[in-house]
Structure 1
């Protein structure tokens, strides 16, 4: 099912007419007259031409199923975009509005002139309120608005798309990897060794004035053939927690049936709990390689295992103009979370250094690339996380490797964490 949004056109009045039923307008005061619909159609076309609004036809596999748009408003005296949407009843409940809103958010995010997106669904409109919440909007009260000669009670939903602001904030850790090797008070240079062994998962690495290099070369062996096939990894992390030999207790339970194959010491090293986490790193443009920066719950309690994926970059998804960066929350085995992860298109050379960051608050997380907002996830993750940093090499279908392309070198210039911002005094 392909969901797209297309510019509203002169032939789209019938779509407005199909919306104009008691069922579709029950949260908006009822149907409009034919004259008002014609005026609305003309307004949609005119405001696009004057850059005051962008209205779109929602299509599923090329067939029109609804409409969505955004237009200029002021919210509490601040310039903002307001969004609204409608999907025909027979197409509701299939995630169409969710995907259309995601596409609108991606468009709004490219316009730095206004960094707030707002929506005002009726308080009784459960579906639209849930859509706002799922898209990362924050509810900021409710209001009663004048509407068609009467009043409409609405909820105020706000999506803050402002850039990352670190002015006046000092990092509690600023890691530049300048020493002869990793700082053992911060780094554990093994990839979840409890599911394999330290010998099989030890990071091939270099540090110094150039930062950190994680390396996969011709001698790198699969890290856990029994559980993960021929995948090779070079990885460092800032914590370690697992159980006794043979137990099922251990961080990053990535598949069923895992058991501890080698006991490990507990390492509470560089753990973060809210605030900003930022890394400056480079991707690798090769179809077999993937690099990632993905803090996970320290997992002293089994459910505290969610993932904050700050950057996941597949070499197969890079091209001459840019590439795709995966960001968001992965539930892993935390039953309180739902995976909310997407790939963001970034223009420019992703094999050069870029900044990837998260501003992590108790009730939500905002993700940034080069300081620019790209995504908000409105979920509660309220436990310490450890940093996970790695390069993967994936085998070909026949098990062979592109040895001529080796080594794959993942370069990281710095990683910083900032404590949560101080609350303003009242």
Structure 2
């Protein structure tokens, strides 16, 4: 078996009764009131198969490296009078502790979200089941109390976990900043047109940009040089950021310490352009379909204190993952060098041509961040990030192994129609 199994969800089938029997042990049912009878197991199997026919609920066999290892599903429920889906799962003991349940729940959440017919997913693990409670917390669920109710002839005390998958609702809210890139020049009070120049130099890290009727274009041209060849190879980038904070030449104090050993090479003036602390941040941009290219919008900590450096990755799109009718969008939290955070990042399948304009947004509260594509919820990260961030908007060209460049495809252009921020309620 591999150290990190490949997890799949397959529809529950007529031959899967053995999984119910394998999970029907005192150990596996300790938090559920004990084992069921053989008759109860057969009734449960029949129910799971009916779900498959009706579509009103769904049960899946969890497979790890092709082996059946447990089950997970969802079914209709309510929470505080609102329609919801309820979920539950199990993984057989020999496969526990390897991240299988975590990945299975992530896959299930994607299936529930794709339905789009109920915006709440709930789970009710027993209060004495630390593994399942931790799983809910890690998946972005919010704990909303606990209850004790009769269950299998006894009483079960359980926690109430709720995942809010409702769409982004800006309603009548007005943005505090609505950047439409009008006129002929960048608003220099907001934007700093250099890519972390303290690690290189402003001349080497300067953006190539233009503003036209469609908004901003960030561009990598045939004569664009690598921004820092001695420690970042032949990576080329065109980038705007809305803040700049770094130390004196020779110091290690500087934003986006993306590798060890970095020291300030060129002292920079402090720039407090457009800093955001909670609320909604949104960009409307178009990706680039090319295997050498990535576009991204990722607010990062302003880093007045070195630990305040986490990243809210609103959208990270590799050109090799952009098809004609769908693509992958990376979203989530990256710890970078913030010891209080853990990286929780994934690539979300998105329907449609990502080289057209799409809206990518994050709704950020003191306790969690929710991510959206075209207003549709795609991910929640339940972590606390409580410091100002600056906006980072960029297009990258990565080097090929053979050292060549696809000059016929140049320029690589990131098109941005608008960037907005809304204050927290």
CA displacement, residues 205-257 of structure 1 (integer Å, 9 cap, x when unaligned)? 00133211000001100000111000000000000000000111000000000
Residue 392 of structure 1 pairs with residue 376 of structure 2: no
2 CA distance for matches of 1:172 and 1:99? 38
**In the alignment, is residue 402 of structure 1 matched against residue 406 of structure 2?**
yes
Deviation at 1:398, TM superposition (A): 1.6
The 2-side partners of 1:273 and 1:8 are apart by 45
Instruction: Specify which of 123, 129, 133 is matched with residue 133 of structure 2.
Output: 129
Matches for 1:10-409 after TM superposition, within 5 Å? 10-409=14-413
The alpha carbon displacement at 1:382 in A equals: 0.3
What SS class does the counterpart of residue 115 from structure 2 fall into? coil
Question: Offset at 1:49?
Answer: 1.5
Query: Could you tell me how far 1:149 is from its partner in structure 2?
Result: 2.7
Q: Which moved more, 1:141-150 or 1:391-400?
A: 141-150
The CA distance in 1 between the partners of 2:151 and 2:263, in whole Å, is 61
Q: Distance in 1 between matches of 2:141 and 2:214?
A: 40
Distance 1:349 1:356 in 2: 14
Where 1:108 maps in the other structure, the secondary structure is helix
Out of 140-149 and 254-263, give the one that drifted further: 140-149
Q: Distance in 1 between matches of 2:52 and 2:161?
A: 24
Q: For 2:158 and 2:51, how far apart are their aligned partners in 1?
A: 24
Q: Deviations over 1:335-385 (max 9, x none)?
A: 000000000011110000000000000010000000000000000000000
Q: Identify which range, 382-391 or 34-43, moves more after superposition.
A: 34-43
Q: Distance in 2 between matches of 1:41 and 1:76?
A: 29
Alignment-derived partner of residue 424 in structure 1: none
- Partners of 2:325 and 2:421 lie apart in 1 by 30
Distance 1:413 1:229 in 2: 31
Question: How far apart are the structure 2 equivalents of 1:77 and 1:149?
Answer: 26
Deviation at 1:320, TM superposition (A): 2.1
Q: How far apart in 2 are the matches of 1:288 and 1:58?
A: 35
TM-score by length of 1: 0.98
Contact 1:181 1:208 in 2 (8 A): no
5+ unaligned residues in a row in structure 1: which ranges? 422-426
SS in 2 for 1:110: helix
| Structure-2 separation of matches of 1:151 and 1:194 | 61
| RMSD between superposed Cα atoms in Å | 0.7
Q: Distance in 2 between matches of 1:320 and 1:370?
A: 18
Q: Across the two proteins, how many residue pairs are aligned to each other?
A: 421
Conserved 8 A contact 1:289-1:394? yes
How far off its partner does 1:55 sit? 0.3
Q: Is this contact kept in 2: 1:309–1:327, CA < 8 A?
A: yes
Q: CA deviation at 1:47?
A: 2.2
Structure 2 stretches lacking a partner, 5+ long: none
- What are the Cα deviations for residues 127-186 of structure 1, in whole angstroms up to 9, with x where unaligned? 000000000000000011221232210000000000000001110000000021110110
Q: When the two structures are superposed, what TM-score results if normalisation uses the length of structure 2? A: 0.98
Runs of 4+ displaced beyond 3 Å: none
User: Which stretch of structure 1 is more off in the superposition, 392-401 or 182-191?
Assistant: 392-401
